[in-house]
A = this chain, B = another copy of it.
Amino acid sequence: MIDDQWEPPPILLAVDLVILTLRESRLQVLLVERGIDPYQGAQALPGGFLQHTGESLIAAAHRELAEEADLDVETLRLEQLGVYDDPDRDPRGRVVSVAFLAIAPRLPEPIAGTDAADAGWQPVGRVLSGELDLAFDHRRIVTDGIERARAKLEHSALATAFCGPTFTITDLQDVYEAVWGIPLDPRNFYRKIKKTDGFIVSAGSARKAATGRPARLFRAGPREVLYPPMIRPVDSPNGKESVQ
């Protein structure tokens, strides 16, 4: 707790960032090791406090993203994920945090953190299973972010954000399989994608692996809303949804 030599502390506003990417065919989340006291040494989402009254939340999110993860701010679209305001979520006092979600394409191996003690990718499975313990309520925030990403893959062209500027349809399928956590039939996936006008546009062809027939390359198309949506096979066909 903080020393109480003066007035009750005000409510502090913070931002937390859930940055997801695909590495080694697995969905991974960007985490930093906390360098200061509450939860020092624990893994946490990148983020921090608003620096001044006039700073907008999205500006703070972009600033933290640049500071802590050295990510290209321009290419990442941040989407508001939710507000986390349990009065007890931060031992330092009342901290209301606004979480943002972003999807990143595959990046050079180590994220060169300039600010945080250490920044790196972790498979989301280790977070969801509880194997990896996160500071504050960040496990819940990650859980919510993943569920949001899964849902957005159904109705939007978000999946292309996981890929580089050009990609194959198989690359795209890897995204869906990793985020949804289920296998898909390559043949049906291929036709479904190509039948959705504007989802992807041709970008030549190239040889990918050292084996097999080379795949055509595509770029993200103009369409952002998918109609009809991609269908996520249901594993629990009854009752309420079970997150985590």
Contacts and interface: CB of A to CB of B under 8 A. Distances in A.
B85 A56 contact: yes
A240 B227 contact: no
9 closest A-B pairs by beta carbon, nearest first, are A225-B241, A10-B10, A57-B85, A53-B94, A227-B234, A224-B240, A83-B98, A54-B87, A83-B83
A53 B85 contact: no
A96 interface: yes
Interface string A209-237: 00000000000001111010000001001
Given A11-B13, A82-B80, A222 B239 contact: yes
Interface of A: 8-11, 13, 50, 53-57, 80, 82-83, 85-87, 93-94, 96, 98, 197-198, 222-225, 227, 234, 237-241
Contact of A240 (B11, B55, B223): B223
13 contacts: A10-B10, A10-B11, A11-B11, A11-B53, A53-B93, A55-B87, A56-B85, A57-B83, A85-B98, A223-B239, A223-B240, A224-B240, A225-B239
B96 A13 contact: yes
A9 B53 contact: yes
A14 B227 CA distance: 36
A238 B237 CA distance: 31
A53 B93 CA distance: 9
Contacts of A50: 11
Contacts of A85: 56-57, 98
B83 A10 contact: no
Given A56-B87, A83-B98, A227-B234, 20 more contacts: A9-B53, A10-B10, A10-B11, A11-B11, A11-B13, A13-B13, A53-B87, A53-B94, A57-B83, A80-B82, A80-B83, A198-B238, A198-B239, A222-B239, A222-B240, A223-B239, A223-B240, A225-B240, A225-B241, A227-B237
A50 to B, nearest CB: 7
Contacts of A241: 224-225
A42 to B, nearest CB: 24
Contacts of A96: 13, 57
Contact of A53 (B8, B227, B234): B8
